[in-house]
Every structure is written in structure tokens, then in C-alpha cells.
Structure 1
Amino acid sequence: MKNWADCTSGEFSGLDPEHAIAILPLAAIEQHGPHLPVGTDTHIADDLLAALARALPDDNGLYRLPTQAVGVSTEHLAFPGTLTLSPQVAISAWTEIGASVARAGIRKLVLFNAHGGNSAVIDLVARELRAHHGMLAVTVHWARFGYPEELLDAEEQRFGIHAGTAETALMLQNRPDTVKAGEVALFRSLGSDMAAEARWFSTDRPAGFGWMVQDLNAAGAVGDAARATAGMGEQLMAHAVSGLTELIEEIRKFPLSRLKEGPSDSR
């Protein structure tokens, strides 16, 4: 995997658009409860992509764009240290980056997300890049690859969405000095209570609402951070890198000819 910033301009000449893939890490600088640093999402994105680079051949046609560390973190604005872009600015900036990738001759782009609050915006960016630049823009959050079997219980998988077991475990594995062990705890989610009270109405699916993180837990963390271990983080890293490696190859095999310029008779 090549770092985009380390390439000369000439190295982008004559790239095969079917083979070359760019990956844009999209993260956040935002509070992560009393026990994790505000850079948690950015650290996780960088650590996962570093592990991916180690797992892949050097010259594999994958180009790593600079991490976009500041994302859409409106839901964390009540907590000092949080940095955010407005959704409008994020859509504009990330779409412009994608357009620049297309001008370099790369039409396959992975929007690699490490912050749930970016997701809705990233979906819009992917559609804009398809509509206006003919790109195959793939959206994925590292957690979409799921978790190793029995590593997290069903409660944590559903409600442990912020600084819970998974994120704390990854930080314990890769950056243990940044974790405040004395502050680690179970941060129960409002969603757990709502699940017992209503069939449809919840903090997310099937019918959610626009929440601020303190609505879910006043500490700003949501999930069972107390269960996390470095060993769990190692398993999560391996699982996510395996899924991402497989995804990259699936994207490479997808012919751009499947993206149509306009209506046609498909009979």
C-alpha cells in the first residue's frame, strides 16, 4: 500500500482504473468518555490501516490518502476537546478530495470510516462521487465486518457504540498508555432501557431519534469498557483487517463497466 503523499505526480500517470484503489480514512477528534483520548477514532483508523499495509504486498495498487481526523461530531459538542465540521462542510471537503482522486485517474475509492457520526454524511459523499465523477465509491466502517465469535455479547454489539468494549480493547492493544485504567467502567446506554419499554422506538433502529451522546449516558461513553482487554483488541484488529483485505479484492474484481452512464434496455 502506497501513501498518497509520498508519491510523485508522475506515479499517478497511466494507472489502471480497474486495478488502482484509493482509500480515504475518515475519523474524528471527539470526547470518548473519561477513559479514552479524544483522538481514539483517528488512532483506530490509522492503526487498522497500518496493520492492513503490513498484511498486503507493497505494490498492490492501493493508495492510502491522508486521514481526515476531524469529522462530523455534533453529538459530542457538550464535551470540551471535541472538534467538528458541519455536515455541509464535510460533504463539500470529502467530495472535493474524491474528485481530486478521480482526476488522478483512480475511479475506485474506499471511504473508510472510524466514527459512526460520519456515516450519514459519507453515504451522501459516495452518491455525489458516483453522480458527478463516475466513481465507484465504497463506504465501510471497520465494525461492519462484525466481531470474532462470542467476543462481544448481543447487548454490547447493539448498544456499546462509543468507548465501549471494542474501542477500549483496540486502544489497550495499540496505545495502552493513552487509556486511563482507573476510569474504565460499564457505561449503560439509554437504548438498553428503551429496548425493554418499546417495540419500535429506540436510539437507532428500527425507529430512532436525533440524540446527543449525553442522552445515552451522561459520562459520554456508551458500552461496557470494563470488559475490554488488550487480547480482545488483538482479535478485533485481526478480524477487521481480514475483512478489509477481502473487501479490497472484491472491489478490485468489480468491473467499472457495471456503472452505467444512463438508462438502457436491460432485457
Structure 2
Amino acid sequence: MSARLLTELSGPEVTRRVTSDTIVVQPTGAVEHHGPHLPLITDFLLADHIGGAAVDRAAEEGLDVWRLPTLAFTKSDEHSWAPGTVWLDESTMFDTVVQVGRAVALMGAGSLVFANGHGGNVALLQVALREIRKRYGLKTFLMPTLARTPGPSGEDADERGLGIHGGAAETSMILHLRPDLVDMTKAERWVPDHLAEFERIRFNGGPVSFGWLSNDFGTPGVVGDASRATVDYGRALWDVSLDEAVASLHEIARFDPAVRRPAVGTVTAPASVTR
């Protein structure tokens, strides 16, 4: 358990310890289908473990940062066809995270960070960042909990940029965190290779995005190559993901969107001109 779990404080302790310099981290996971080889709580585990560890390390390094319990049920309707998925519709999820922002603002904190382990939450959380900022004045941020890094033996090399759900990365990370929940005898390559032929229509980073459900691709709800997962790759992903999350929290702590202007009466030297 995280040593910085805000809900383990008493009410008076919150009043005493939370200030406008405090960063509150809300991990967001999911309970959803991840194929025959991974548990429903895959994304929850990513958000909970990495988010909690990042908060603990950042606090040890001097940041005023606390975490809330991880949200389990989020926007997973792309997997609603599969038994076991538990999801909120977009309006319920949006209202939930905005009201979390309201509570964090009432505590007196200055910043709220969503540490997200589920890709289906990203678009909605990006909208919520601005809504919470507008309503409650918090500085708001969204960061991923799972970073990307090449595997020690190139385990992710054959996913063709399509390893987005239940593939080498997620499977390897759960092998590292909870190997008892992974059945590698059922892990196979489920990559929709024909999608790699499109230059503009992509899952991530392309100029054209598209709506999809996880049963659109002729796979068992998986997009990636789970057969390439290894514990070593999971350990490497853990190290990189934790380092990235902690570095993000340090940058969040010093972030100020306002333009810095010289004080009234201060004379600034003109910039040098090169001729």
C-alpha cells in the first residue's frame, strides 16, 4: 500500500497537510476484457501500481504529493461486447472525474493529476481537465502510467505499431507485477496486419483517427502480439514507466502557465542584436 494514500489520513490531517502546493494524483484504470490470457483488472493494476509507486518516490524526493484510491470502473465501452467488462457511460464517467476535481479543490490542493492506465479514458479525461480547471481553478494534468520502450530482446518488434491492447507490453507488465494472473499458454499473436498498410489512418499519432470496438479486428479482443511477452520486458517497462511518471510529477510541481513579466519599474536590458 502506498504510504501517501490520502484517504488514510483523518479529516483534520487533510486540513493541516494539504495546501495550494499539494499535488493530488488520481489513478484511473479499468475492468475490461483483455483476451484469454490476461485478467480483467490489467489496466487497473497498471494505474494502481505505477501511480502509487510514482507518488511514493516523488514524495521521497521532496514533492508534496498524495494519491487517491484508483478508479476501477471507467469508460471501457469499446469492450462492452465481452463478458466481465464493467464500464461507465461517458456522461457518468465525466461527471465522476469532475466531481473528484471538486472535492480535491475543496481540500485546498492546487493540482490534480490523472495517472491513466486505460487508453479508452484519454479523450474524455482531456475534456475533463479543462472543465475542472474552469469550474474549480485547479491546475489539471493527464499522464500515462505505461511508458513505451523496446524490449530487451525486441519482444515488441513484430506488432507493427499496433500493439495497443493485450499485446507484448501489457502482458509483459502483468507478468512482472502479477504472474499468477497470466496464462501464457493462451497468449498468441493477434495483430491486424492489414491496418499497418494505412499511412494516415492510425491508432496513435496519425492524422486520421477512427472509432473502433475491440471485436472489430477478427481477433479475440486483443490487438498486439502477446506471445512475445517476457518477464524481462515487463521489468524494463516497469523501470522506464516509473522513471517517466516521477519525472512528470517533478515537472508538474513547477509548472505555471502564466507568462512571467518583469515587475513594474524594472528595466530589462534590450536583447543583443547580431549584425
2-side partners of 1:149 and 1:188: how far apart?
18
2-side partners of 1:129 and 1:53: how far apart?
21
Offset of residue 200 of structure 1: 2.3
**Gaps in structure 2 of 5+ consecutive residues:** 261-275
The answer for the alignment partner of 2:91 in structure 1 is 88
Using a 3 Å threshold, how does the CA distance of structure 1 residues 152 and 206 change in structure 2: closer, same or farther? farther
Per the normalisation by structure 1, the TM-score is 0.87
Aligned residue runs from structure 1 range 239-250, under 5 A: 239-250=240-251
Using a 3 Å threshold, how does the CA distance of structure 1 residues 157 and 63 change in structure 2: closer, same or farther? farther
Out of 109, 117, 122, which is 1:119 matched to? 122
Aligned residue runs from structure 1 range 1-267, under 5 A: 2-13=4-15, 15-18=18-21, 20-53=22-55, 55-58=57-60, 60-143=63-146, 145-148=147-150, 151=154, 153=156, 156=159, 158-189=161-192, 192-196=193-197, 198-203=198-203, 205-255=206-256
2-side partners of 1:105 and 1:207: how far apart?
41
- After superposing the two structures, state which structure 1 stretch, 55-64 or 112-121, moved more: 55-64
What is the aligned-residue RMSD (CA, Å)?
2.2
Offset of residue 206 of structure 1: 2.2
Offset of residue 53 of structure 1: 4.7
- After superposing the two structures, state which structure 1 stretch, 216-225 or 28-37, moved more: 216-225
1-side partners of 2:44 and 2:123: how far apart?
18
> Which deviations, in whole Å up to 9, do the C-alpha atoms of 1:231-254 show, x marking residues without a partner?
111110110110111111111112
The one-letter amino acid paired with 1:201 is I
- 1:159 match: secondary structure: coil
Conserved 8 A contact 1:110-1:140: yes
- Larger-Rg structure: 2
2-side partners of 1:175 and 1:156: how far apart?
23
**Gaps in structure 1 of 5+ consecutive residues:** 260-267
Offset of residue 202 of structure 1: 4.0
The one-letter amino acid paired with 2:246 is T
- After superposing the two structures, state which structure 1 stretch, 96-105 or 208-217, moved more: 208-217
> Which deviations, in whole Å up to 9, do the C-alpha atoms of 1:167-206 show, x marking residues without a partner?
00011011001001210111112xx31332x432345532
2-side partners of 1:229 and 1:155: how far apart?
14
Conserved 8 A contact 2:55-2:67: no
How many aligned positions are there? 254
Percent identity, aligned pairs only, is: 31
1-side partners of 2:127 and 2:87: how far apart?
18
Using a 3 Å threshold, how does the CA distance of structure 1 residues 47 and 217 change in structure 2: closer, same or farther? farther
Offset of residue 155 of structure 1: 5.4
Conserved 8 A contact 2:176-2:235: yes
Using a 3 Å threshold, how does the CA distance of structure 1 residues 50 and 134 change in structure 2: closer, same or farther? closer
Conserved 8 A contact 1:114-1:142: yes
- 1:109 match: secondary structure: strand
- 1:123 match: secondary structure: helix
2-side partners of 1:4 and 1:26: how far apart?
16
Per the normalisation by structure 2, the TM-score is 0.85
Using a 3 Å threshold, how does the CA distance of structure 1 residues 57 and 157 change in structure 2: closer, same or farther? farther
| Higher helix fraction (1 or 2) | 1
Offset of residue 256 of structure 1: 6.7
